[in-house]
Amino acid sequence: MDTAKLLADLGALLGADKVSRDPARLAARHRDTWVLSLWRKMRDKQFLPPACVVTLKSTEDAAKLLQYAAGNKVPVVPFGAGSGVCGGILAEPEVVVADLTELNRLLWVDEVSLTARVEAGMLGAEYERALRERGFSMGHFPQSIDCSSVGGWVATRAAGQFSTKYGCVEDMLLAVRAVLPDGTIVETKAAPRASAGPDLKQIFLGSEGTLGIVTELTYRIHPVPEATQLRSFSFPSMHAGLEAIRLVMRGGWRPAVLRLYDDVEAARHFGGHVDEGEALLVVVSEGARTMVAAEGDAVEQICEAAGGRSRGRAPAQKWLKERNVVPSFETFLEQGIIVDTIEVAALWGRIGELYDAVLEEMRKLPELIVVSGHSSHSYPQGTNIYFSFAAGGDDLEATYARCWEAAMKATLDHDGTISHHHGIGRVRAPWLPAELGSSHLLLRLLKRAIDPHGIMNPGVMLEKVC
């Protein structure tokens, strides 16, 4: 569609002040933090801006925008806070970016039922701060809490650092309000649990902007915990540490944090607290004082029986202090090094082999500089591994593709899931059919039924249809 007409139509529909072609705004909203998008922009020294950015201030604004977009077959890309790392946002020239950053109010807190209603564009840290002022917490602490939105968490099925106790975002979501791609507003009911057919809010969890725009969420909350206890243990190997976590989870204990760093990461982050070749486990327990004390003792017994050695509070304190500090991708790219993370998960029966296989396959690549891993989100049935790698070479984009290919193939070969919490976006889309197998059909049918013109975030998760 002709851009001038698009701008005039959207201005008339929503108010000209909500429709922007300001170059700085287009630049700030056209992509997420996927390292390959950043690299292409640095390498090519330019980017093609989207058609415009529309600022949504209400669910009704989103409904008007999508009704218009469906009628005119205009592609729309929702923008939460842009912290996604998989290329979920890469707005091409014909795209309208639906900017949720000003749909950002905490609507209410129900202190009796322990629920809160929040607009989708509120930043995670602001939401948590507002809850804390009232004596509550969501319990969801992604490393990106300062730069991700509460709606983006749902769209990507995010996991926070304290997930082993409080669960991931799907465990915290009670209800959603969303706008379908034809502009229809839908709302699900908040209940402690329901047996009223399929759980329809699940459609939006992990939808990555491909099935509509989520505008409001009802989340579970809980009182700020009474006590916190920090511990850490070193293990002779990653495998020994994984076995200790398995036994803690199997015993019914739920420390908020169980993070196991392999030898490379333990030496990098906790040098001085581990011997050469050792893995390090950080444990944070929180909740009622008596429960925390009992959990701490039980975890210590299990870890020591599994070959662990207590390393006191200091490594856990260090982790808590530094947990959201990350070096910028840009600094590495400027030195000709591409850095990224790949988080996968598997059942306990396969996770050790999967960890070994991913490292082995990636280390075969001549351009690889380093690869390492840690486990950060555990369940009675299994855990995740969060791999980090750095690689060089003459063609960084080709190197990057080879690193991902090696990790994804080794994960699938060992029955792992290709993403634990970052989502699919563009980077994992080629492996989604293998991940979902016969159920890939359900995803395609869902997309076709809900978004028949394929206007919502084309190119993410599934192939473009418009």
CA angle 77, 208, 320 (to 5 degrees): 115
Distant-in-sequence, close-in-space partners of 53: CB < 8 Å, separation ≥ 6? 19, 20, 21, 22, 25, 26, 29, 79, 96, 97, 99
Interaction of residue 137 with ligand FAD, rule CB under 6 A = no
Q: What backbone torsions phi and psi does residue 223 show, to the nearest 5 degrees?
A: -65, 150
Interaction of residue 79 with ligand FAD, rule CB under 6 A = yes
Interaction of residue 443 with ligand FAD, rule CB under 6 A = no
Residue 332 corresponds to which tokens in the numbers above? 């590495």
Strand partners, 20: 53
CA 453/CA 464 separation, integer angstroms? 10
Tell me the HSE value of 444 on the side-chain side, using a 13 A CA sphere.
13
Nearer to ligand FAD, 251 or 430 (CB): 430
Interaction of residue 75 with ligand FAD, rule CB under 6 A = no
Nearer to ligand FAD, 243 or 286 (CB): 286
Interaction of residue 354 with ligand FAD, rule CB under 6 A = no
Interaction of residue 50 with ligand FAD, rule CB under 6 A = no
Binding to ligand FAD by CB under 6 A, coded x per residue (else -) over 82-121, reads xxxx--xx----------x-------------------x-
Task: Find the binding residues for ligand FAD in span 138-177 (CB under 6 A).
Answer: 142-144, 148-149, 151-153, 155-156, 158-159
Binding to ligand FAD by CB under 6 A, coded x per residue (else -) over 389-408, reads --------------------
Compute the least distance from the CB of residue 360 to ligand FAD, in Å: 26
Compute the least distance from the CB of residue 167 to ligand FAD, in Å: 12
Nearer to ligand FAD, 214 or 274 (CB): 214
Interaction of residue 342 with ligand FAD, rule CB under 6 A = no
- Segments in 186-309 forming alpha helices (H): 238-250, 263-270, 289-305
> Which strands sit side by side in the sheet containing 309-310, from one edge to the other?
309-310, 227-235, 279-287, 257-261, 368-375, 382-391, 338-347
**Cβ-proximal residue to ligand FAD, closest one:** 152
Interaction of residue 33 with ligand FAD, rule CB under 6 A = yes
**Which of 118, 152, 112, 121 has its CA nearest to residue 138?**
118
Nearer to ligand FAD, 82 or 315 (CB): 82
Interaction of residue 35 with ligand FAD, rule CB under 6 A = no
DSSP per residue over 26-48, as a string?
HHHHSB-S-HHHHHHHHHHS--P
Compute the least distance from the CB of residue 301 to ligand FAD, in Å: 30
**Which of 151, 159, 157 has its CA nearest to residue 123?**
151
Binding site for ligand FAD (CB under 6 A): 32-33, 77-85, 88-89, 100, 120, 142-144, 148-149, 151-153, 155-156, 158-159, 208-209, 213-214, 326, 421-423, 457, 460
